[in-house]
Amino acid sequence: AVWRILEALDPEIREILCLKYIQGDSYQEISQLLHVPRGTVMSRLFHARKAFRKQYLENEAAARQQRRR
């Protein structure tokens, strides 16, 4: 389920989530890789987590409705 959600997200969102949570890169490392300030990395991660959470909750709600049928 997690991989399907990641694949459904915009590439920029998927990239920053993967760098942080799959590769385990620090904010500083991500900042250097993407050539953006550390604050931008933090902001993008905040929005990326929010988008992931929204997609996850929508998928869970759909799955619950399927199980009820």
Residue-by-residue pLDDT tens, the chain, 69 positions: 789 999 999 999 999 999 999 999 999 999 999 999 999 999 999 999 999 999 999 999 988 888 887
Q: What's phi and psi for 31, nearest 5 deg? A: -55, -45
pTM of the model: 0.86
Answer for the pair 7, 32: CB distance below 8 angstroms, yes or no: no
**What pLDDT is attached to residue 55?**
95
Answer for the pair 40, 31: CB distance below 8 angstroms, yes or no: yes
**DSSP summary character for residue 26:** -
Distance between CA atoms of residues 28 and 3, nearest Å: 25
**What pLDDT is attached to residue 64?**
87
